[in-house]
Amino acid sequence: MIRQERELAQKRMEDERQRIAREIGQILLMRLEKIKLQEAGASINWTELPDNLEYINPEVALIAQVKEAKLRLPWESNKQSAAFKQILSDSNFAIQIQHAEQQEFEKKNFARAAELYRQLIDKTQEPIQKSYAHLLLGRVLSKTDRKKEALAHFLIVLNLPSRIKDEYGIPFCLYATGPLLEAGTSLEEVTEVVRSEIEAKRWLSPAEAYSLKDLVEKLTNTPEPFLKDAIHKYNQQILDYIRKLEQSLALQRDFQTLAMFTNQESQKNEAIWVPYGEGPWLISLASPRAGTNPLLIVVEAEDILASLKSDSSFLKTYPREIRFIRGEAPEGEFLGPNFRGLKIAFEAGELSDLSKQWRVQPAFYLLALLLVLSVTLFGAYLLWRDVRRDLQMAELRSQFVSSVSHELKTPLTAIRMFAETLRLGRSKNQKTQRDYLDTIVNESQRLTRLLNNVLDFSKIEQGKRIYRPALASLADIIQAAARTMEYPLSQQGFRLHVQADEGLPQVRVDRDAIEQAILNLLHNAMKYSGESREIELRLQRKDSYALIQVVDRGVGIDPQEKKRIFEKFYRIPSEENKRLPGTGLGLAIVSHIVKAHGGHIEVESALGQGSTFSIYLPFESKP
């Protein structure tokens, strides 16, 4: 009764957590959809994606445009960069620039180059061309003894508006900061340019952002104490921006892998929010109006959660200490179908008041239970032990028979099907016939391995398993195992990486038994690799042992289960294991083979990170 009450209490707690998570998910969805509608509505009159960094809602981190299934970021629609390319492509201007640079770089005639740059400044009326000529004139003058005049031109460029940019989106004024800082002049003016660029509340191109980062790093060495606090502030601001910029670029690269689009009519209008990156960000698609490119709305999860917590009515109903976690984490509760891969977790003690309501005082039940058990404990224990042992053995035998039957049926069915196909001559293509024959051979080998496992286990149980050790090369053994597994691995898209150290001495082993152990480990790696298709087979020396390792990047093993996986008939009880074929004998046979050779086997694993099985065989046989 106590156990039942506790289980019921635990079940109520789980149900309550799920209910709260679903309700919070609905509140969060309403808030997010409101933000999405507001931002999408404001974009109806856009002709170009604006580079404004401030949006209607402060929780919004980014608004990007989806064009032909690719993500277009705000700074990529920079008209000034396009204007720069167009103006500089002017034939007369380009020819004069080329002629001046020829004088500067090839003939080293700096005076003539400076004269040509001045002529350009006097002739052109285009701000971008004039600014570019000032910059080039300052450059060539700095190579002569007229450095003061060069700084004057750099100062002109420094005072240019930031909207005058080159093809990389970098304002001309930033190009002037380096020479001015090297000369030790105009420190306050340079700092002001940095401040205006960083606090401009617009998206900077990657090139401009990294240029500002380098510039701020140079300013950190300034000897002026009154500027140090401001420069430290600007440094933190540009680093924060670059983190946001880099995550935006990563989102652009990963966008097509996020499955944001669907072809199902029933899901086209469904509100879906997907977590991405650090923070995380919550992203969703919005369509301002029919016939326009969709927008990607990106919201800071922590900011939207903070806005929920600032609502007093929310805090009266729901816990205060909640946080977002990714869906692959074991803890937490899913927020609902509208949030793919996003959970919410409650801090310990947040639901303690609810758990107290469901806690039953067990004193009376314990006293009554102890009184009854004190009379019958010894006999009940013996009976329970015998019955439990018999039931376990019966269950294990039943599972074993069922598993072996299924394992035998699968290859036999494949062999029969492909053999009948070949006999009836339905396929005239020789390649197809060879594939069918390869499949028959592979399934026959699989059937042989299964029967060998069963027969070997039977001999092990009866103490009749005999090993015939002889000096053999472990490198040859693992290569033979790799060749045996080549076809089944290729059929399922696996890549097996074999790595064997050279010069290892021969080891006295039963070649067939060791190969069987390696094959069993490789089969396990295939079965439990999940989505991963990478398996490693290694051979190396470790102290006085030869070390054979089989490494996968699959589902991994619960630490609590690692001690039992080498028991006979034992399979980890999970829904995934029920769907995978197996008899529970493979690892038990591997363990017996390794111990019979005087070695030992170890396993390193973590859930979701794969497993490494290590076989240690002594170079010299132990008595």
Radius of gyration of the chain (CA): 36
Query: 301 or 411, which is more confident?
Result: 301
Q: Which of 329, 356, 383 is the last residue of a domain?
A: 356
Structure tokens belonging to residue 602 = 């170890």
Instruction: Tell which residue, 469, 464, 452, 560, has the closest CA to residue 516.
Output: 452
CATH number of the domain encompassing residue 571: 3.30.565.10
> Does any domain span residue 261?
no
Residues 110, 137: Cα–Cα separation, whole Å: 10
Range in 79-88, 272-281, 300-309 with the lowest mean pLDDT: 79-88
Which residue bears the tokens 């299924």?
Answer: 406
Instruction: pLDDT band for 623, please (50, 70, 90 cuts).
Output: very low
The half-sphere exposure of 492 on its side-chain side, counting CA atoms within 13 A, is 19
Residues 475, 608, single domain; the answer is yes
Instruction: pLDDT band for 438, please (50, 70, 90 cuts).
Output: confident
> Does any domain span residue 97?
yes
Amino acid at 548: I
Q: Which of 303, 326, 356 is the last residue of a domain?
A: 356
Structure tokens belonging to residue 276 = 């991405």
Residues 243, 341, single domain; the answer is no
Phi (first) and psi of residue 72, to 5 degrees: -110, 120
Residues 241, 92, single domain; the answer is yes
Contact status, residue 598 vs residue 614, Cβ threshold 8 Å: no
Phi (first) and psi of residue 188, to 5 degrees: -65, -40
Which residue bears the tokens 């009159």?
Answer: 45
Contact status, residue 221 vs residue 181, Cβ threshold 8 Å: no
498: β partners: 537
Residues 11, 31, single domain; the answer is yes
First to last CA, the chain: 56
Query: 522 or 266, which is more confident?
Result: 522
| DSSP calls for 88-117 | HT-HHHHHHHHHHHIIIIIS--HHHHHHHH
Instruction: Tell which residue, 572, 574, 532, 569, has the closest CA to residue 551.
Output: 532
Range in 30-34, 194-198, 251-255, 353-357 with the lowest mean pLDDT: 353-357
> Does any domain span residue 493?
yes
Q: Which of 356, 379, 408 is the last residue of a domain?
A: 356
Residues 216, 152, single domain; the answer is yes
Residues 118, 148, single domain; the answer is yes
Give the H or E element holding residue 579.
helix 575-579
Contacts of 226 (CB under 8 A, 6+ apart): none
For 267-291, the pLDDT digits (tens) are 455 688 999 988 789 999 988 777 7
User: Residue 358 pLDDT more than 50?
Assistant: no
Contact status, residue 249 vs residue 71, Cβ threshold 8 Å: no
Instruction: pLDDT band for 35, please (50, 70, 90 cuts).
Output: very high
Which residue bears the tokens 């032909």?
Answer: 68
Amino acid 461: pLDDT: 66
Structure tokens belonging to residue 297 = 């709305």
Residues 44, 299: Cα–Cα separation, whole Å: 20
Residues 187, 131, single domain; the answer is yes
User: Residue 400 pLDDT more than 60?
Assistant: no
Residues 487, 560, single domain; the answer is yes
Residues 101, 187, single domain; the answer is yes
Instruction: Tell which residue, 299, 314, 201, 208, has the closest CA to residue 251.
Output: 299
Give the H or E element holding residue 51.
none
Structure tokens belonging to residue 113 = 């180059």
> Does any domain span residue 140?
yes
pTM listed for this prediction? 0.54
> Does any domain span residue 217?
yes
Residues 208, 77: Cα–Cα separation, whole Å: 15
Instruction: Tell which residue, 566, 336, 554, has the closest CA to residue 460.
Output: 566
> Does any domain span residue 592?
yes
Q: Which 3 state secondary structure label does DSSP give 442?
A: helix
Mean pLDDT (whole number) for 501-518: 87
User: Residue 264 pLDDT more than 50?
Assistant: no
- 166-170, 173-177, 455-459: which is most confident: 173-177
Instruction: pLDDT band for 248, please (50, 70, 90 cuts).
Output: very high
For 554-570, the pLDDT digits (tens) are 888 888 888 788 887 77
User: Residue 366 pLDDT more than 80?
Assistant: no
Work out how many domains the chain is built from and give that number: 3
Mean pLDDT (whole number) for 351-368: 57
User: Residue 377 pLDDT more than 70?
Assistant: yes
DSSP letter (8 states) at residue 261: -
User: Residue 322 pLDDT more than 80?
Assistant: yes
Contact status, residue 342 vs residue 22, Cβ threshold 8 Å: no
- Measured CA distances, 107 to 98, 100, 102, 603 (Å): 13, 10, 7, 71
User: Residue 27 pLDDT more than 80?
Assistant: yes
Q: Are strands 333-334 and 281-286 parallel, antiparallel or unpaired?
A: unpaired
Query: 411 or 472, which is more confident?
Result: 472
Residues 124, 235, single domain; the answer is yes
Structure tokens belonging to residue 51 = 């580079």
Contact status, residue 23 vs residue 335, Cβ threshold 8 Å: no
Amino acid 187: pLDDT: 87
DSSP letter (8 states) at residue 273: B
Amino acid at 542: K
Q: Is the dihedral of CA 71, 246, 210, 162 positive or negative?
A: positive
Residues 572, 50: Cα–Cα separation, whole Å: 55
Structure tokens belonging to residue 520 = 């069993």
DSSP letter (8 states) at residue 534: E
Contact status, residue 161 vs residue 152, Cβ threshold 8 Å: no
Instruction: pLDDT band for 423, please (50, 70, 90 cuts).
Output: confident
Residues 47, 98, single domain; the answer is no
Range in 295-299, 514-518, 549-553, 564-568 with the lowest mean pLDDT: 564-568
> Does any domain span residue 394?
no
CATH number of the domain encompassing residue 222: 1.25.40
Give the H or E element holding residue 326.
strand 322-326
Amino acid 265: pLDDT: 40
Residues 566, 609, single domain; the answer is yes
> Does any domain span residue 367?
no
Residues 485, 519: Cα–Cα separation, whole Å: 8
H helices of 310-429, in order, are 312-317, 352-357, 363-423
Contact status, residue 521 vs residue 550, Cβ threshold 8 Å: yes
H helices of 255-362, in order, are 301-309, 312-317, 352-357
Domain containing residue 52: 2-69+266-356
Amino acid 439: pLDDT: 72
Contact status, residue 49 vs residue 64, Cβ threshold 8 Å: yes
CA 82: distance to chain centroid? 36
Amino acid 496: pLDDT: 92
Amino acid 434: pLDDT: 74
